[in-house]
Amino acid sequence: MIKISEYTVRRLSTYRRILEELLADRIDVVSSAQLAELSGTNPAQVRKDLSYFGNFGKRGSGYRVEVLCQRIRSILGIEGTWRVVLVGAGNLGTALFSYKDFSRHGFQIVAILDSDPEKTGQTWDGVEVSPVKDAERVVRKTKAEVAIVSTPAVSAQSVVDRLVAAGIRGVLNFAPCKLEVPAQVELRNVNITIELEGLSFAMRSADEAAK
């Protein structure tokens, strides 16, 4: 089994979104050229990405939208539902909780943790906000497998350690810090400051070039 790069996986995710849009538009068949155009890449890349997983297309015509979409959902492992614990019920946590896009696509928030006694005990849309000290119990009870961390940087590592101990297998980290997790636990970081500083660098470089 050859190793699939993270770049390929990210593009698959993009193809999936586009295929669902095509599906909604009652488009039946799509070529690698069209899919490339819509996702901002090139046809060879699309075909190469898909070829790692099988021969999904039909020569001469292209890919059946519905079939390909279902296949990608299966490859990504989002046919079923992942159970998510949201850690940190501040502004960002609230925003993520009410962000319905990923809840529609296989990620269901089943528990919320926060350290603020004002918040713990509340119920958001049927989901209880529990104190961080109950992290292990809550993860086990709800069978959460994924954690979304939107706590301040200082508290992130300690709560992640406890989630991992309780059996969490994937972490999406919004806190601006490096998290240590065991190799068998998957980790992705989203860091808004890095993105903004990347923009800043590019804008500044454009200024230099213009001089």
Partner DNA sequence: CGCTGTGAATGTATTCACAGCG
Partner DNA sequence: CGCTGTGAATACATTCACAGCG
What is the binding site for a second copy (CB under 8 A)? 1, 4, 6, 9-10, 12-14, 16-17, 38-40, 75-78, 82, 90-92, 94-96, 98-99, 101-102, 105-107, 145-146, 169-172, 176, 178, 184, 186, 188, 190-206, 208
Question: Strand, helix or coil at 62?
Answer: strand
C-alpha span between 86 and 142 (Å, rounded): 12
Binding mask 63-102 for DNA (x = CB under 7 A): x---------------------------------------
Q: Specify whether the CB–CB gap between 184 and 199 falls below 8 A.
A: no
Query: Among residue numbers 164 through 193, which ones bind DNA (CB under 7 A)?
Result: none
Q: Specify whether the CB–CB gap between 151 and 167 falls below 8 A.
A: no
- Cβ proximity to a second copy: between 28 and 195 the closer is 195
Give which of a second copy, DNA, none residue 63 binds (C-beta under 5 to 8 Å, depending on kind): DNA
Q: What is the DSSP string of 172-185?
A: EE-SSS-----TTS
C-alpha span between 204 and 95 (Å, rounded): 31
List Cβ neighbours of 28 (8 Å cut-off, separation of 6 or more): 64, 65, 66
Q: Which one-letter DSSP state was computed for residue 131?
A: E
Give which of a second copy, DNA, none residue 50 binds (C-beta under 5 to 8 Å, depending on kind): DNA
Give which of DNA, a second copy, none residue 60 binds (C-beta under 5 to 8 Å, depending on kind): DNA
Please, what is the minimum distance in Å from the beta carbon of residue 60 to a second copy?
27
Q: Which one-letter DSSP state was computed for residue 79?
A: S
Q: Specify whether the CB–CB gap between 45 and 11 falls below 8 A.
A: yes
Q: Is there binding between residue 104 and DNA (CB under 7 A)?
A: no
Tell me which residues touch DNA (CB under 7 A). 3, 5-8, 31-33, 41-45, 47-48, 50-51, 55-63
